[in-house]
Amino acid sequence: MFESSASESPQTGDVLEPSDRSAKSARSATSDSYDKSSSSNLDDATLDAYSHTITAVADEVSPSVVRIDVEGPANPQGARPGRPDQATGSGSGFVFTPDGYVLTNSHVVSGARRITVTMLDGRKLPGHLVGDDPDTDLAVLRVHATDLESLAFADSSAVRVGQIAVAVGNPFGFDCTVTAGVVSALGRSLRTKNGRLIDDVIQTDAALNPGNSGGPLVDSRARVIGVNTAMILPAQGICFAIAINTASFVVARLIRDGRIRRAYLGVAGQNVPLHRRVVRYHELARENAVFVVGVEPDGPAARAGLRDGDLIVAFDDKAIAGMDDLHKLLTEERAGHEVPVVVLRGDERHTLPVTPVLRQ
């Protein structure tokens, strides 16, 4: 802490004549006024530029965003003749081709008996499910219309934390609601209802609410960087979108095949930690493994010799620390190709040749 002494004499340069003091005060006041005015003008300009960006994005994106209303049996086995118990719901989606392909979330349309797509201009069109992939929570619909305004995809690998993110959707039925924020984080993982993990998820603070699911998250150039999918209900400003690079891959397969084909081994497992002594003894790269609790009879794993109680520690020369790691590696490309699976069985280490097959 600095202290000043009253006995210290002022320096020569600090002594001002009355006229000099007045002149300096006037200059100081003028300078302060100019600085405040300049700062205010700069703030106004920044805010105006931000507003212009958001309004321009909203104008360009909104015509491509649709509301999706679904009807489906709430209890198909318990429905009575003449009184079909129905569940209704709604979500969002967006047109990504001029000839009527619409991207949304799988959980928005899953199990739907009837799908209605409402455009910004009020047109209500029947939606036809092209295909969905619950593992990535994505689905593609088709509406019979032409010359629709569509949105372009960005490269989500180029997205940076802090950049502007704008979400457009239909929360609680309020059509074409726009919220804005920033990209809060990248590389998040999100678990779907069926237990699979979605990687490369974008976190944003652009407000999402029920009904926003399936709508686009776009950048300042109105290009889609993600598909809005979830929010943490007790929290504020923690929302998630599936990266559009993931969606691009899924969309192409859904349009071609109607589903995503993945390989499977035919094992049920759970994640377990390994004792340090075991890790050191076998020189393992990870301290966790997959404990096999069940093997499907005559499945790929059973034919390769896997047993209940085995610990899977590697698949195709890649360390495995849990079921999520295994799921990531079981892609369509590995189906039909023999790969080595390393398991620990008691004190022994075995390498078993397994040939995954496509999941039907």
95 and 223 in a single domain? The answer is yes
- Contact criterion met (CB below 8 Å) for 251 and 242: no
Q: Is 135 a domain residue?
A: yes
97 and 154 in a single domain? The answer is yes
Q: Tell me which residue of 139, 142, 109, 147 sits closest to 128, measured CA to CA.
A: 142
26 and 96 in a single domain? The answer is yes
**End-of-domain residue from the set 226, 260, 294:** 260
51 and 107 in a single domain? The answer is yes
187 and 288 in a single domain? The answer is no
Q: How many residues does the chain have?
A: 360
Mean pLDDT by runs of 10 across the 360 residues of the chain is 37 41 48 56 73 94 96 53 62 96 95 94 94 93 93 94 96 92 91 78 93 96 95 84 93 91 89 93 93 92 94 95 86 91 94 89
200 and 331 in a single domain? The answer is no
- Contact criterion met (CB below 8 Å) for 324 and 287: no
Per annotation, catalytic residue among 64, 106, 107, 310: 107
Which helix (H) or strand (E) covers residue 25, if one does? helix 18-61
Per annotation, catalytic residue among 133, 137, 219, 325: 137
Per annotation, catalytic residue among 90, 213, 219, 310: 213
CA distance 318 to 326: 9
**End-of-domain residue from the set 245, 260, 275:** 260
141 and 162 in a single domain? The answer is yes
* Phi, psi dihedral angles at 20 (to 5 degrees): -65, -40
CATH of the domain at 237: 2.40.10.120
* DSSP letters for 83-95: B--EEEEEEEEEE
CATH of the domain at 335: 2.30.42.10
Looking at residue 62, what DSSP letter applies? G
Q: Can you list the positions of beta strands (E) in 192-300? A: 197-204, 216-218, 224-231, 239-243, 263-264, 267-273, 288-295
Find residue 227's DSSP bridge partners: 216, 242
Concerning whether 137 is annotated as a catalytic residue, the answer is yes
Question: pLDDT tens-digit profile of 161-171?
Answer: 999 999 999 99
216 and 272 in a single domain? The answer is no
Concerning whether 144 is annotated as a catalytic residue, the answer is no
122 and 41 in a single domain? The answer is yes
Number of H helices, E strands in the chain: 6, 21
219 and 122 in a single domain? The answer is yes
Burial class (CB in 10 A: 0-12, 13-18, 19+), 211: buried
Q: Is 52 a domain residue?
A: yes
- Tokens coding 121: 């201009």
Question: pLDDT tens-digit profile of 171-224?
Answer: 998 989 999 999 999 988 888 777 777 878 999 999 999 999 999 999 999 999
Q: Is 9 a domain residue?
A: no
User: Coil, strand or helix: which one is 112?
Assistant: coil
- Contact criterion met (CB below 8 Å) for 216 and 167: yes
Residue 143 CB: number of other CB atoms within 10 A?
23
Concerning whether 35 is annotated as a catalytic residue, the answer is no
User: Coil, strand or helix: which one is 340?
Assistant: strand
Count of structural domains, the chain: 2
152 and 199 in a single domain? The answer is yes
- Contact criterion met (CB below 8 Å) for 105 and 210: no
216 and 285 in a single domain? The answer is no
Q: Is 1 a domain residue?
A: no
pLDDT of residue 114: 94
Domain region containing 45: 18-74+87-260
